[in-house]
Amino acid sequence: MLHVSPQAISKWENGHSLPETLLLPVLAQVFSCTIDEIIKPAYTLDENIEAEKPAMFERQAEQIAKYFPINIKGDNMVSASIQNRGDKVAIEAIAKYHPNLGIISVVRGKSHKTPRYTDSSITVTSSQRDYQLIERVYAEDDPELHRYNLLSKYLTNLPLIYHIDPDERFMLMEDLSKDYIQGYEYDEQNENGNLLRSNYHAILRSIAKLHATFWEHPGAFREVGLDFRLKSKENLLAHINGMEQDFLAYKQKEEDGKIPKAWGGFENKLQAHKLTYFQDAINKLRSNYVELIDSRYRIGKAITIIHGDFHPGNLFMGKSGDQTVKLIDLQAVRVGLCTEDLAMLLALHIEPEKENSISMLEYYYQCLCETVVDYSYEDFLLDYKLSIMESMFYPIKLMNRDIFDFNMRDKAIKAFESFAIKK
């Protein structure tokens, strides 16, 4: 029932070790005895204490009833060591999705704290199997929690959300680390990297599913809200002006020799004439992107909910070979052009060159148009060009923060050359 090996029990019986603390309350219930009787066999030989045993057992039962048992509707009693709210929620959530599990115990693992949230690993063990979960508690009200709350109602290509409480800033989701590999492996020459590279179509199909689900979806748009930059032409022009100022600051550093020659294993081999591409991109964005405020954003036409930071590190690929993709890190989810996610994934990370990426773009478009209508392929490619131009300034912003990702910058330049200059 408790998944304890005969070898471990033999050690208990011979006095070489004791049961784990979390098992003691459950063992006491199973054998209708006190915890003391389990860990102190000689205790029952004391006649004075033996006379007090009924009262002690009653007190012990009261403590167990107060802190440990949880009754789940069904045929079986579910018991666990309840240390805090998260343990109770974990048991109730697992029992809701997987009823009649029998005896359950909860074991907490390591916690990982970030400025935004604290993740704690939890193992819920039943007589049938173990369930690996992540408990995430946010330090303050966080947009990501609300994005998970929205998207999980519509999509299956996210981690399974067992419980979410925006008011308490608390979420319980499946831990993907055992059965999935994270996309950070994408450029490594190893088995995991090969798995990811062989499943680009599955990744594109997964992001197309997100975009198609929320295509021209006014209710979702109201819930997420437009970014400040998309609320008016003036705001978008101010945003583009800010991008230009970022570029001019970076350009000055290049001219002053303040950019390192190498960083992160990549050399800074930028040809001076290619700096003009950034100013060209700014001019094209002013001419073509700003007009979308009236023709697209204000009326909700041919726009959707996007991931907003769709790079390989923010997805998990199933190890089993079933091409299952899970999207994570929803902090940047927003309203936008579907091609913004594609530019981040392809132009900045996987494949910037048109001749190599066009088949992937065509595949994504086919997946999108299984449900989306009135969005021509020509308009799709025009949107992709705009998204490439905007994405070019992301590595520039990083460089102004002393994160000199030359590889990403050079891929952005290749994408601009390939899609916006070459005929």
Q: What are phi and psi of 101, to 5 degrees?
A: -90, -15
pLDDT score of 381 more than 70: yes
CB neighbour list of residue 241: distance below 8 Å, 6 or more residues apart: none
* 100, HSE (Cβ side, Cα atoms, 13 Å): 2
Could you read off the pLDDT of 281-336 as tens digits, one per residue? 999 999 999 999 999 999 999 999 999 999 988 999 888 878 899 999 999 999 99
- pLDDT the model gives residue 31: 81
4 vs 64, residue with greater confidence: 4
Query: Are 260 and 320 within 8 A, CB to CB?
Result: no
Q: In terms of residues, how long is the chain?
A: 423
Beta bridge partner(s), residue 255: none
**Domains delineated in the chain:** 6-67 (no CATH), 78-174 (3.30.200), 182-421 (3.90.1200.10)
Could you read off the pLDDT of 230-244 as tens digits, one per residue? 999 999 999 999 999
- pLDDT the model gives residue 13: 80
Q: Quote the Cα angle for 400-402-407, to 5°.
A: 90
Any idea which of 20-34, 95-109, 257-271 has the lowest mean pLDDT? 95-109
pTM score: 0.78
Please give the Cα distance from 160 to 94 (Å, whole number): 11
Q: If you average pLDDT over residues 196-224, what whole number do you get?
A: 94
32 vs 213, residue with greater confidence: 213
In this prediction, residue 396 has a pLDDT band, given cuts at 50, 70 and 90, of very high
3-state class (DSSP) for residue 116: coil
Q: What are phi and psi of 384, to 5 degrees?
A: -65, -40
- pLDDT the model gives residue 54: 59
Could you read off the pLDDT of 248-290 as tens digits, one per residue? 999 999 989 899 999 988 899 888 899 999 999 999 999 999 9
Question: Residue 363: what residue type?
Answer: Y
3-state class (DSSP) for residue 180: strand
Nearest to 136 by CA among 93, 175, 98, 105: 175
Query: What letter does residue 44 receive in the DSSP assignment?
Result: G
